[in-house]
């Protein structure tokens, strides 16, 4: 997981440990329910480094109708901490277990397990979501795809597609459209390059079998008009059954509080359901284009999530799903 996504996920985890519930929201806005039942609507600004006084002044001058400015950063400077305690801004600093909302510092319960270490310093800059989506589309079809069809499928401009195709390895244009030079080579490069959908994740635990939990969570979202995509073990069990699902992944366009569906909050180390608001905006488009059962992420997203799931046999399960993709069975 990239640095910004991990930082926001850690902030969400910190809120859980402080007894603060996310009622709704997105990666940029959060509607919080405080321990005493009061609500607080925020606009979120994630910073890999604590913002300078100049940056904070500029952020505070930006109009934010009916919302409070919430800074998420690893550590708070003395200036930022003072502003927060004075009620000028809200702050979540996961590196020091600090939550200050409306001038009040909220105590945070101890972690149940050590937080996973960050793996190195990720590359910064805009993620090529369109390129990765095009690679998935070309891997999941044996038919050439014209540039205009790729643009329509992903709901982007033909110029964006043209730029992305220039960066795609192992693809070429034919009179009928774009195809992979070598599906094996393109698949290998895609799996090595794609970092995952990013975003922020909340973790949950349920007592029912994982597939039943997944069905409950999807129904809960559907009833509320939220279009969820199922991934991970639960999706792999539909595409190419191999192992007993241990965890389910659910992608949603906005935060949902599945506690009212019977789930309990859990840690990243001990969960059965992960609910993610992804940074990758293409997931729903490639899922629909894959022509698979409704509410499932496309098979290559499922492969990524299985590869990064727990269990000694996770890689074997992913290989089983990859074999089905390579054979064109999906």
Helices (H), 140-231: 147-154, 158-167, 183-193, 210-223
Q: For residue 166, what pLDDT is reported?
A: 93
Report how far residue 23's alpha carbon sits from residue 256's, in angstroms, rounded to the nearest whole number: 7
User: What CATH code would you report for 129-193?
Assistant: 1.10.10.10
Answer whether 104's CB lies under 8 Å from 125's CB.
no
Q: For residue 294, what pLDDT is reported?
A: 65
- Taking only the tens place, the pLDDT of each residue in 249-302 is 999 999 999 998 999 988 888 899 999 999 999 999 999 998 755 689 999 999
| DSSP symbol at 296 | B
Tell me the domain boundaries of the chain.
Answer: 3-105, 129-193, 200-326
Domains 3-105 and 129-193 share a fold: no
Classify domain 3-105 by CATH architecture: 3-Layer(aba) Sandwich (3.40)
With b meaning 16 or more CB within 10 Å and e meaning fewer, what string describes 263-290? bebbebeebbbbbbbbbbebbbbbbebb
Q: For residue 309, what pLDDT is reported?
A: 83
pLDDT means per 10 residues in the chain (330 residues)? Answer: 79 92 91 94 94 93 88 95 96 96 94 48 71 96 94 96 93 94 91 93 93 94 94 90 88 93 89 94 93 81 90 81 77
Total length of the chain: 330
In the chain the beta strands, taken as DSSP E runs, fall at: 21-25, 29-33, 39-46, 68-72, 90-93, 98-101, 104-105, 171-174, 177-180, 200-205, 229-231, 248-251, 264-265, 273-277
> Taking the mean position of all CA atoms in its chain, how far away is CA 54?
31
Answer whether 251's CB lies under 8 Å from 278's CB.
yes
Residues paired with residue 31 on neighbouring β-strands, in sequence order: 24, 41
pTM (2 d.p.) = 0.85
Structure tokens at 290: 């894959």
Report how far residue 165's alpha carbon sits from residue 27's, in angstroms, rounded to the nearest whole number: 28
- Phi, psi torsion values for 204, nearest 5 degrees: -140, 160
Structure tokens at 156: 């982007």
Report how far residue 62's alpha carbon sits from residue 53's, in angstroms, rounded to the nearest whole number: 15
Tokens 């996920």 correspond to 9
Report how far residue 262's alpha carbon sits from residue 264's, in angstroms, rounded to the nearest whole number: 7
> Taking the mean position of all CA atoms in its chain, how far away is CA 139?
22
Q: For residue 116, what pLDDT is reported?
A: 45
- Phi, psi torsion values for 72, nearest 5 degrees: -110, 120
Report how far residue 291's alpha carbon sits from residue 288's, in angstroms, rounded to the nearest whole number: 6
Tokens 């000694």 correspond to 312
| DSSP symbol at 64 | -
């Amino acid at each position: 997981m990239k640095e910004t996504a991990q930082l926001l996920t850690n902030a969400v985890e910190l809120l859980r440990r402080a007894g603060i519930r996310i009622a709704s929201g997105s990666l940029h806005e959060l509607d919080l329910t405080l321990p005493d039942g009061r609500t607080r609507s925020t606009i979120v600004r994630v910073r890999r480094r604590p913002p300078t006084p100049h940056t904070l002044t500029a952020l505070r001058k930006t109009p934010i109708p009916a919302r409070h400015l919430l800074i998420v950063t690893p550590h708070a400077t003395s200036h930022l901490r003072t502003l927060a305690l004075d009620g000028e801004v809200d702050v979540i600093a996961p590196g020091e277990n600090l939550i200050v909302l409306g001038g009040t510092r909220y105590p945070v319960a101890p972690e149940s397990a050590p937080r996973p270490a960050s793996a190195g310093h990720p590359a910064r800059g805009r993620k090529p979501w369109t390129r990765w989506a095009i690679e998935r589309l070309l891997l999941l079809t044996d038919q050439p795809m014209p540039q205009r069809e790729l643009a329509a499928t992903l709901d982007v401009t033909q110029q964006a597609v043209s730029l992305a195709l220039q960066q795609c390895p192992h693809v070429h244009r034919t009179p009928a459209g774009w195809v992979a030079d070598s599906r094996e080579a393109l698949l290998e490069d895609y799996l090595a390059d794609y970092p995952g959908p990013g975003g922020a994740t909340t973790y949950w635990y349920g007592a029912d079998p994982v597939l039943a939990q997944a069905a409950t969570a999807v129904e809960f979202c559907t009833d509320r008009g939220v279009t969820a995509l199922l991934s991970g073990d639960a999706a792999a069990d539909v595409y190419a059954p191999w192992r007993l699902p241990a965890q389910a992944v659910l992608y949603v366009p906005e935060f949902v509080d599945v506690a009212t569906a019977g789930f309990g909050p859990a840690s990243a180390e001990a969960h059965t359901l992960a609910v993610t608001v992804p940074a990758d905006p293409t997931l729903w488009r490639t899922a629909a284009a894959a022509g698979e059962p409704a509410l499932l992420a496309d098979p290559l997203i499922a492969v990524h999530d299985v590869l990064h799931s727990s269990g000694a046999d996770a890689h074997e399960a992913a290989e089983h799903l990859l074999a089905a993709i390579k054979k064109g069975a999906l």
